[in-house]
């Protein structure tokens, strides 16, 4: 019984504050760590501003001071509007293109294609091999997001986000 109790989360966002405080880029960063005595995780998530899912969108975001957790790569996700699942979004012909560049303009990762070419989980969509980038402490990055809406009348707001999570303390 004691082992089962130790595997559940005791709350989120309680002990990755140093990494959170160094981020000064666009969007909102939050500690999504799940501390437990034996199998906790250290994690963060950077949510970039939302945009309309039924309108074209193009913007370059600043990512300055992205935290580094034990040299673990961060993953890029695209989240579809609430009320719409990733599988429903993938049935549209909407396209997304996300590029992360370093301060010298060198492309670190690039994801482009129709939503139906991405993998979905809940409301999040990603591409396994191309959704990762390795942040370096105190570096600055730019993240370009281009979205073209598909057919159908899907309303609501979507956004890109970056997440990094590592298990074991």
Half-sphere exposure in the Cβ direction for 142 (13 Å, CA): 10
Q: Which two tokens stand for residue 99?
A: 């590029």
Q: What is the pTM of this model?
A: 0.82
CB 104 within 8 A of CB 142: no
Residue 96 inside a domain? The answer is: yes
Is the predicted pLDDT of residue 11 greater than 60, yes or no?
A: no
CA 71 – CA 132 distance, rounded (Å): 12
Q: What is the CATH number of the domain that holds 120?
A: 2.60.120
Residue 49 inside a domain? The answer is: yes
- By residue range, what is the domain housing residue 89? 11-167
Please report the pLDDT score of residue 5 as a whole number: 30
Residue 16 inside a domain? The answer is: yes
How many structural domains is the chain composed of?
Answer: 1
Mean pLDDT of the chain: 81
Residue 6 inside a domain? The answer is: no
- What are the phi and psi torsion angles at 106 (to 5°)? -80, 130
Residue 5 inside a domain? The answer is: no
CA 163 – CA 45 distance, rounded (Å): 4
Please report the pLDDT score of residue 153 as a whole number: 67
Bigger pLDDT: 1 vs 133: 133
Residue 1 inside a domain? The answer is: no
Residue 2 inside a domain? The answer is: no
Q: How confident is the model at residue 141 (pLDDT cuts 50, 70, 90)?
A: very high
State the maximum Cα–Cα separation within the chain, in Å, rounded to a whole number: 54
Residue 22 inside a domain? The answer is: yes
Partners of 119 in beta bridges: 126
Bigger pLDDT: 90 vs 17: 90
């Amino acid at each position: 019984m004691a082992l089962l109790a130790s595997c559940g989360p005791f709350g989120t966002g309680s002990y990755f504050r140093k990494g959170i405080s160094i981020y000064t880029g666009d969007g909102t960063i939050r500690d999504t760590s799940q501390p437990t005595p034996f199998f906790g995780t250290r994690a963060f998530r950077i949510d970039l501003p939302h945009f309309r899912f039924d309108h074209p969108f193009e913007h370059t975001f600043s990512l300055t001071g992205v935290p580094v957790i034990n040299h673990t790569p961060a993953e890029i996700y695209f989240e579809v509007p609430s009320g719409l699942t990733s599988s429903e979004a993938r049935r549209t012909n909407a396209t997304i293109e996300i590029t992360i560049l370093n301060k010298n303009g060198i492309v670190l990762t690039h994801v482009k294609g129709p939503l139906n070419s991405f993998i979905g989980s809940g409301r999040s969509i990603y591409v396994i091999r191309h959704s990762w980038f390795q942040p370096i402490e105190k570096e600055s990055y730019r993240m370009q997001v281009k979205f073209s809406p598909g057919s159908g009348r899907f309303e609501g707001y979507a956004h890109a986000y970056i997440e990094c999570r590592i298990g074991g303390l």
